Chains A and B, each alone.
Chain A
Amino acid sequence: MAAGVATWLPFARAAAVGWLPLAQQPLPPAPGVKASRGDEVLVVNVSGRRFETWKNTLDRYPDTLLGSSEKEFFYDADSGEYFFDRDPDMFRHVLNFYRTGRLHCPRQECIQAFDEELAFYGLVPELVGDCCLEEYRDRKKENAERLAEDEEAEQAGEGPALPAGSSLRQRLWRAFENPHTSTAALVFYYVTGFFIAVSVIANVVETIPCRGPARRPPREQPCGDRFPMAFFCMDTACVLIFTGEYLLRLFAAPSRCRFLRSVMSLIDVVAILPYYIGLFVPKNDDVSGAFVTLRVFRVFRIFKFSRHSQGLRILGYTLKSCASELGFLLFSLTMAIIIFATVMFYAEKGTSKTNFTSIPAAFWYTIVTMTTLGYGDMVPSTIAGKIFGSICSLSGVLVIALPVPVIVSNFSRIYHQNQRADKRRAQQKVRLARIRLAKSGTTNAFLQYKQNGGLEDSGSGEGQALCVRNRSAFEQQHHHLLHCLEKTTCHEFTDELTFSEALGAVSLGGRTSRSTSVSSQPMGPGNLLSSCCPRRAKRRAIRLANSTASVSPGSMQELDTLAGLRRTPAPQSRSSLNAKPHDSLDLNCDSRDFVAAIISIPTPPANTPDESQPSSPGGSGNRASSTLRNSSLGTPCLLPETVKISSL
């Protein structure tokens, strides 16, 4: 109900006095009226800008934030006002809705910001008033299209993440759809493009008249007839390539039915079918006419270029999207042609030896005139004919000029959208790099802080290095959180460099690099982790160092990308290297199950890495897979690491 309706309700109720005397039954008693307070003024403070309004105004819409008791959550008793930390400019429109019953849409604000404000205040977008509804919907649709494009572009653009275990089919399909993913696909792409061009050029060239070499009356023949074999071979080669490509695509397509129905596959079929039909059709005169027609269809190979050219695709989309305008153009042209052809025919009927022999014959004249071509093969000779002819040409200009701007604007819109998508894809790499940088920034801050020994809480004074910079409260709490995570998982955060060089140290069997990294962390973490993991970690490091695990450098890439748990054994001193393996762990991580869960995830190939790992010296190793023998010492923290390595 509109805002004003509430105002008029007392009047409507009063008007019921007209029914009173007529009522044959007693009217029901009026509803109990609550103690009606006088209308009071509420103050709504939105980011410092104070809005004041009657309480009744807000009560008009009880299912919104301001109209219901939800606003009490925002009531500030000290100042006696309702405080919202939102955009005051947008709030103006929201409040006006309560006042006038119409929700207007601000022109200069982002439509999404407006939507968010509406959502916050509990207003549904359908409440936007009629005056602004069109524009609101248009802008929203435009926005949604643009965002959808973004997502599509992202999904289409992200090539590299090849799901492990994709079949040949999937890989092939991806290679076909995104030629930039692998060099083979790119080569294939260019080869097919080349052959399309060759085929089209051959089609064109074979009709050019070549001078016959040594014939007495130098006869001109089309090249196709002079060198039939050569052209036939070229044709065959092209068709073979096209056929192969088509069959491969058919094989690789995730949905064959859909692929068969798609436009590109139809074009492919039309491009290669004439050749095969021509092979099997005998060359006699009866069907040679049809044969000639078939050769015309070879020209459709040029449409195969649309896979290679985005511009062609855009043109196709444009024509498709302007279908209604094109239809209108066609219809109006047809009407005009018929009218003018009829008139011209009757106007020129009297003339002898006239070209306008029938109305359909006059169609040609009308079309040529309306499109302002004016070949001049048919001209009116009577005065009436000339008058009507001139009217025809004038109207032709108008009729054709009308739908053309619409088509042009559609084309321009689609073209710009595509350009935007390309630009966005280029910017995305930059964006991702920036995000990664930001992420690593925070991690580095944490690590730096740890290195500077600021982490300990049972600190031994010297750990409080002078270079510990002052941390804000936020950073403190954040670091504390990360620290808790570390304690929980018995792993520590480290940076890529340390990690990869640790890995490299493992494969090279060199302990030195690791110990350097170890020694650089003198006090802090060691203190804390001494009871937890370090000895175990060290143990395992030794194990692995001794092993001849074939940790390929390539694997490090994979490992780097695997986020999350990293191990950093950080023992305090060399002496702990000789610690016994069976020290009891008072880990807080109840991790046997945890471990089991981790183990079950990847499926190690269980080949060389396993065999080369030495068996544990009698730990509690009762695991099935040998890869876990090392960790059967009971250091569950190490497992993810171990498992990762073995999955190479």
Chain B
Amino acid sequence: MNLDGLEMVAVLVVLALFVKVLEQFGLFEPVSLEDSVEDEFELSTVCHRPEGLEQLQEQTKFTRKELQVLYRGFKNECPSGIVNEENFKQIYSQFFPQGDSSTYATFLFNAFDTNHDGSVSFEDFVAGLSVILRGTIDDRLNWAFNLYDLNKDGCITKEEMLDIMKSIYDMMGKYTYPALREEAPREHVETFFQKMDRNKDGVVTIEEFIESCQKDENIMRSMQLFDNVI
């Protein structure tokens, strides 16, 4: 039968509607190019339990009561027992509303996540806190060095330090006095390297770092900050 153009179109439209209706009733599964999104769902039922209280007491320098308080807070915020990077960033950003703390939070996360499995469990959390709050000055400096050393190769390069510096300045936000200039982080990095880099080889090693910090009075004095945070 000879169909006119319009008739052809009409017939095609009818066919298309028919196919759609069949699809709806599930009688006619069209070939899908990719898995439908609905099949994915995160197995978010991970639950991590920390080691026993005694073990943690041995590993860290916190008292039993302090551990209990810490855990209660931790569990309240993260019922699943672990913090992933997103959560971490979000938590940290609540303290710095004006600026953007996500980069620094990432660095922190990497520093806390000692086994590099992408999540911070309570043990990691408490271990880090123990070093910072209850450790010796050398321990703290060690921890700070670990934080700055982004690729964990034992030395801090200028690029790494620049990244860190920028992330810290980002936390300040836009409204500062005096107004932040573009080159402020870079200048700060230069100052830092001048102070820390003894042999002027462009990188700061751990020994240089600790040595220089111990000679710096300001830093030593400020270390007392952490004595009674908890």
Contacts and interface: CB of A to CB of B under 8 A. Distances in A.
Interface in A1-40: 1-27, 29-30, 33, 38-39
A16 B141 CA distance: 12
A589 interface: no
Contacts of B143: 17
A384 B219 contact: no
A22 to B, nearest CB: 6
A7 B229 contact: no
Nearest to B222: A27
A383 B7 contact: yes
A383 B10 contact: yes
A4 B76 contact: yes
A17 B226 contact: yes
B29 interface: no
Nearest to A19: B168
A61 interface: no
A16 B6 contact: no
B94 interface: yes
Given A18-B144, A23-B219, A4 B129 contact: no
Contacts of B6: 346-347, 382, 384
B13 interface: yes
| Central interface residue in A4, A8, A11, A27, by most chain B CB within 10 Å | A11
Interface string B3-20: 010110111011001000
B218 A23 contact: yes
Contacts, number: 130
B147 A22 contact: no
Given A15-B108, A24-B191, A3 B229 contact: no
A240 interface: no
Contacts of A267: none
Given A10-B230, A21-B209, A26 B77 contact: no
| Central interface residue in B9, B10, B108, by most chain A CB within 10 Å | B10
Given A20-B219, A388-B10, A7 B94 contact: no
Given A22-B168, A24-B188, A29-B224, A17 B144 contact: yes
A391 interface: yes
A14 B129 contact: yes
A38 B76 contact: no
| Central interface residue in A4, A38, A382, by most chain B CB within 10 Å | A4
Interface string B89-110: 0011011000000001001100
Interface residues of B, number: 57
Interface string A254-296: 0000000000000000000000000000000000000000000
| Central interface residue in B77, B104, B224, B227, by most chain A CB within 10 Å | B77
B228 A30 contact: yes
Contacts of B14: 387, 391
Given A10-B129, A14-B132, A18-B107, A4 B73 contact: yes
Contacts of A25: 218
Contacts of B141: 21
A468 to B, nearest CB: 65
A39 B111 CA distance: 30
B225 interface: yes
B224 A14 contact: no
Contacts of A5: 91, 94-95
Interface majority SS (helix, strand, loop, mixed), chain A: helix
B230 A8 contact: no
B18 to A, nearest CB: 12
Interface in A343-381: 346-347
Contacts of B116: none
B74 A21 contact: no
Interface in B51-97: 65, 69-70, 72-74, 76-77, 91-92, 94-95
A18 B160 CA distance: 14
Contacts of B223: 20
B188 A7 contact: no
A277 B7 CA distance: 57
Nearest to B105: A15
B222 A23 contact: yes
B229 A10 contact: yes
A630 B125 CA distance: 94
Contacts of A22: 164-165, 168, 188, 192
A290 to B, nearest CB: 46
Contacts of A13: 225-226, 229
Given A12-B95, A30-B224, A387-B10, A7 B74 contact: yes
Nearest to B139: A17
Given A17-B144, A22-B192, A30-B224, A7 B73 contact: yes
Given A7-B76, A8-B91, A21-B213, A26 B222 contact: yes
Given A4-B73, A18-B144, A383-B7, A9 B95 contact: yes
A26 B219 CA distance: 7
Nearest to A11: B129
Interface string B191-230: 1100010000000000001000100001101111111111
B147 A18 contact: yes
B144 A20 contact: yes
Nearest to B111: A18
Contacts of B222: 20, 23, 26-27
Given A18-B144, A387-B11, A1 B218 contact: no
Contacts of A346: 6
A18 B69 contact: no
B8 to A, nearest CB: 9
A8 B77 contact: yes
B128 A14 contact: yes
B133 interface: yes
Contacts of A56: 69
Nearest to B92: A12
Contacts of B125: 11
Contacts of A6: 73
Contact of B133 (A4, A9, A12, A14): A14
7 contacts: A5-B94, A8-B91, A10-B230, A14-B226, A20-B144, A23-B218, A384-B9
Given A20-B140, A22-B165, 10 more contacts: A7-B73, A12-B95, A13-B226, A18-B147, A18-B148, A18-B168, A21-B213, A22-B168, A29-B225, A391-B17
Interface of B: 4, 6-7, 9-11, 13-14, 17, 65, 69-70, 72-74, 76-77, 91-92, 94-95, 104, 107-108, 111, 125, 128-129, 132-133, 140-141, 143-144, 147-148, 164-165, 168, 188, 191-192, 196, 209, 213, 218-219, 221-230
